[in-house]
């Protein structure tokens, strides 16, 4: 028996799986993803650090676990919630089962809960913190004794997900600096496929350190948490706006907007799934996108920043991408690398490659 107890007192009963340590409470922000598959990529996506991820699709684990599809070398998700967990490896090519991966990587899970009811509750009331416990009374008591602030990490999640030391990935093409704020492996793969040589920096790297390697472009990666919690990174990136072509993805998009003077805000329950329609305002083209974020750029704050909205979410009208009116900088809130999700947005990497080569818009020193 296991329980997911939300901060507002709502509780959901289920059965424990994965790693549970001596009935120790596990807390996290409870979010949901509507994708039908891709549980491996989601669980290993560092953007879910500190969160308890609910899968709305009723069955998970049915094709096992393939090591090569993990999006990071470490896992910082706090827990997972599923309706039905498939047993076994589910595929001749699988390395293990989803349950075995959770057990080996100390991820607590809860299954056989009403994930539809949980999702509806989040959609009606907004994202909320929860605690995974063995007994209902334990969860109720926990929230009587703890506040939201009590469960916040001492360090921003970005500094827990980023690499500890810079490193280089060889390639035959131009050198790109990559600011790792919890980067997904498929972003690196997409850049490698286009021939780039990559110099990956920790999130704390200074703009001087980045310029010292003489890159021909800069990539700002995805990452977890509230962008307002890391203003020092935005200030740092601001020094690079006139100096390099830049591609920002997810958290990188938000950081670039903040670097130019814009602001962000928290969405009621975030965008997490593989079927979010986004429109390119320049062409009118609509594509389906993969998304995983709980914050967005405030459109009205863009005035005077030099950025204009390029992409917009057709579900709620939120900003999904920016382009600079003077410098070769493009950012997207969604995930063009997918993993998981639709792959029809990978052209963003080609657009950025043109910026780096000087073919996209005028280069500025």
Tell me the catalytic residues: 250, 335, 337
The Cα 243–Cα 253 span in angstroms is 17
The contacts of residue 150 (CB under 8 Å, 6+ apart) are none
Q: Which residues fall in the annotated binding site for L-glutamine?
A: 47, 223, 225, 251, 254, 292, 294-295
Q: Which residues fall in the annotated binding site?
A: 47, 223, 225, 251, 254, 292, 294-295
Look at strands 329-332 and 319-324 and give their pairing: antiparallel
Q: What is the DSSP secondary structure assignment for residue 334, as one 8-state letter? A: S
Q: Is 23 exposed, middle or buried (0-12, 13-18, 19+ CB in 10 A)?
A: exposed
Please answer whether residues 4 and 81 qualify as being in contact, where contact means their C-beta atoms are separated by less than 8 angstroms. yes
The Cα 332–Cα 296 span in angstroms is 11
The strands making up 246-249's β-sheet, listed across from edge to edge, are: 167-169, 197-202, 175-180, 217-220, 246-249, 329-332, 319-324, 307-313, 264-280, 286-297
């Amino acid at each position: 028996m296991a329980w997911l107890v939300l901060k507002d007192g709502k509780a959901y009963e289920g059965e424990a799986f994965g790693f549970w340590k001596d009935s120790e409470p596990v807390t996290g922000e409870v979010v949901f993803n509507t994708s039908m598959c891709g549980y491996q990529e989601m669980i290993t996506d560092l953007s879910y650090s500190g969160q308890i991820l609910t899968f709305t699709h009723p069955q998970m684990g049915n094709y096992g676990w393939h090591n090569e599809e993990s999006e990071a070398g470490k896992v910082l998700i706090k827990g997972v919630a599923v309706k039905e967990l498939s047993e076994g490896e589910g595929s001749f090519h699988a390395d293990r089962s989803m349950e075995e991966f959770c057990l080996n990587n100390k991820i607590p899970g809860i299954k056989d809960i009403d994930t539809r009811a949980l999702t509806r509750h989040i959609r009606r009331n907004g994202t909320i913190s929860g605690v995974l416990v063995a007994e209902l009374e334990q969860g109720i008591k926990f929230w009587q004794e703890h506040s939201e602030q009590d469960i916040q990490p001492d360090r921003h999640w970005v500094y827990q997900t980023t690499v500890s030391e810079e490193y280089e990935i060889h390639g035959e093409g131009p050198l790109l600096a990559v600011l790792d704020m919890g980067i997904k492996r498929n972003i690196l793969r997409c850049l490698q496929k286009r021939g780039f040589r990559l110099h990956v920096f920790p999130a704390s790297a200074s703009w001087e350190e980045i310029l010292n390697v003489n890159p021909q472009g800069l990539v700002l990666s995805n990452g977890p948490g509230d962008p307002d919690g890391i203003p020092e990174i935005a200030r740092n990136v601001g020094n690079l706006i006139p100096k390099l072509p830049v591609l920002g993805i997810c958290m990188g998009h938000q950081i670039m907007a903040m670097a130019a003077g814009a602001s962000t805000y928290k969405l009621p329950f975030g965008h997490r799934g593989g079927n979010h329609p986004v429109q390119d305002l320049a062409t009118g083209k609509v594509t389906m996108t993969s998304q995983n974020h709980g914050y967005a750029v405030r459109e009205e704050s863009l005035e005077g920043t030099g950025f204009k909205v390029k992409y917009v979410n057709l579900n709620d009208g939120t900003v999904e991408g920016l382009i600079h009116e003077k410098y070769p900088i493009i950012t997207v809130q969604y995930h063009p690398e997918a993993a998981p999700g639709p792959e029809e947005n990978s052209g963003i990497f080609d657009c950025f490659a043109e910026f780096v080569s000087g073919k996209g818009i005028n280069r500025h020193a």
